[in-house]
Amino acid sequence: MANEIKTAIEIICEEKGLKEEVILETLNQALAAAYRKEYLEDKNNNVKALFNVEDGSIKVWDEKTVVEDMELDENGKVIQDEDIPEEEKKKFHPRHEIMLKDAKKIKKGSKIGDIIKEELESKTDFGRIAAQTAKQVIMQKLKEAEKEMLFSEYKDKEKSIISGVIQRYERNFVIINLGNGTATLPKEEQIENERYNIGTRMKFYIKEVYQDIRGTKVILSRTNPELVKQLFALEVPEISNGIVIIKSIAREAGKRTKMAVYTNQENIDPIGSCVGQRGIRINSITEELGGEKIDIIEYQEDIKDFIINSLLPAKIDNVIIVDEKKKEAEVKVDQTQFSLAIGKQGQNVRLASKLTGWKINIDQGEFME
C-alpha cells in the first residue's frame, strides 16, 4: 500500500506542480477524520494522524492544550460568578483542551500551555480505511489541481480573444468548447440575430474568468467593442506593433462599428493599413463578425475635425462648440446631408457621439442619441 500511495503522490506532484507536503497534510487530516468517525464515540477527541509515506505506518493520537483546573456543571460549563461580564467568563473546550489535573495523569510534570499527545489504539482494519482515504484524497487533489490550472490558464487570457467551437445550448446560454474546457456565451453577450450553429468555430472576447463551487467559469462575449479592436490587432501588423493606434471605438454589435485610428509616422496611412489591399484585412474582420459594417476614420486632436470625421460619410459644413466643459457641440449640415449625418434610426450620430465622447446636435440643436 505504501509504495502505491507514494508513487501516486509523486506522479500528481510532478504532473500538476503540487508540493508533496500539501497532499500529505490533507491526507493526514482525512485519516484523522476517518479514525474519529469509525472508532470514537466521544467526539471530544482532537484526533491527529501522521502517515509515513516511506513505510506506510500510521500514527494516531489525541492532542490537547493544558489549561488551568476549572469546576464544571452537569452541562460541561464552567461554574463561576454570574456577575462576571460574558466576554470575561472562562470557557472550557474539551475537544482541544485538558485540565492540568487530568494532564498530570497522562504525563507527570505537565504545566499550563503544554501540548499533551495521547496515542490512540491501533486498529487492525485501519490500513484498509487508510488506503481508501488516501485514494480519495489523491483524486480530490488531482481535481483541485486541474481546476486551478484551468483557472490560471484562462485568467491569464482574460480581456483577450480566443477561438472556440459552438458545442450546445443551455436555455439562453451558448456553451463553447475551448479545447481543454468550456466557456459560456450569455444571452446579453450574443449578437442579435447572429446564428450559433453547433460545430461552427468562432472568435470570442474573454470578458471574465472566475471560480465558483462548480469550478472555473469563463464568460465570453461577441458584442464587446474589444473584440473588434483585438481582431484588428491580429489582422493588422501596424496595429499589433504599435505603429497605428486605435484611439477610440464605438460599436452597435452586429450592425455597425466606428473606429478612430492614428499614427505619428508620416509615411503610414492608418486607414489604409486597417483596410488592406483591396479591402482584404477589413473584409476578413467583417466576415468574422457576420457582415457587421465597420467605418475606419482618422483620429484628430482638434475636436472639431474629429467630430467631422466621426460623422462620415456625411459632409459637414461647420462644427460649433456649444459647451466645452459639458462636451456638447452643434453640427451644421446641408439639407441634403441631414439624413446621412443622423443615419438610420439615429445610428450614425449616436456612434459618432460615443466615438468622440461629445454630445452632438445636428443642424438646429436637435440632439439624437
The helix (H) or strand (E) run that includes residue 156 is helix 126-156
Of 345, 361, 272, 354, whose CA–CA distance to 310 is shortest? Answer: 354
**Alpha carbons 34 and 173: distance in angstroms, whole number:** 42
> CB neighbours (10 Å) of residue 300?
17
The per-residue pLDDT for range 358-367, each reduced to its tens digit, is 999 997 544 4
Instruction: Tell me what pLDDT residue 57 has.
Output: 83
In tens, the pLDDT along 56-74 reads 788 999 999 999 998 888 7
Tell me what pLDDT residue 210 has: 94
User: Contact 185/166 with Cβ under 8 angstroms?
Assistant: no
pLDDT of residue 364: 52
**Topology, domain 310-369:** GMP Synthetase; Chain A, domain 3 (3.30.300)
DSSP string, 292-349: -EEEEEE--SSHHHHHHHHTTTSPPSEEEEEETTTTEEEEE--GGGHHHHH-GGGHHH
What's the pLDDT at 13? Answer: 83
- Enter the CATH code of domain 159-221: 2.40.50.140
2-152 fold: N Utilization Substance Protein A; Chain:P; domain 4 (3.30.1480)
Return the pLDDT at 368. Answer: 43
| Low pLDDT (below 50) residues in the chain | 365-369
Pairing of strands 359-362, 328-332: parallel
Identify the architecture of domain 224-299 in CATH: 2-Layer Sandwich (3.30)
- pTM, to two decimals: 0.69
pLDDT at 2: 61
Matching fold, domains 159-221 and 310-369: no
Rounded CA-CA distance 34/63 in Å is 16
**Of the candidates 240, 222, 225, the residue with the CA atom closest to the CA atom of residue 281:** 240
Cross-strand bridge partners of residue 175: 168, 184
- For 282-316, the pLDDT digits (tens) are 999 999 999 999 999 999 999 999 999 999 999 99
- Up-side HSE of residue 74: CA atoms within 13 Å toward CB? 0
The whole-number pLDDT of residue 146 equals: 75
Distance CA(290)–CA(134), nearest Å, equals: 53
CB 351 within 8 A of CB 252: yes
Q: Which three cell numbers stand for residue 112?
A: 499550563
Domain ranges of the chain: 2-152, 159-221, 224-299, 310-369
**What is residue 213's predicted lDDT score, i.e. its pLDDT?**
83
The pLDDT score that the predictor gives to residue 89 is: 77
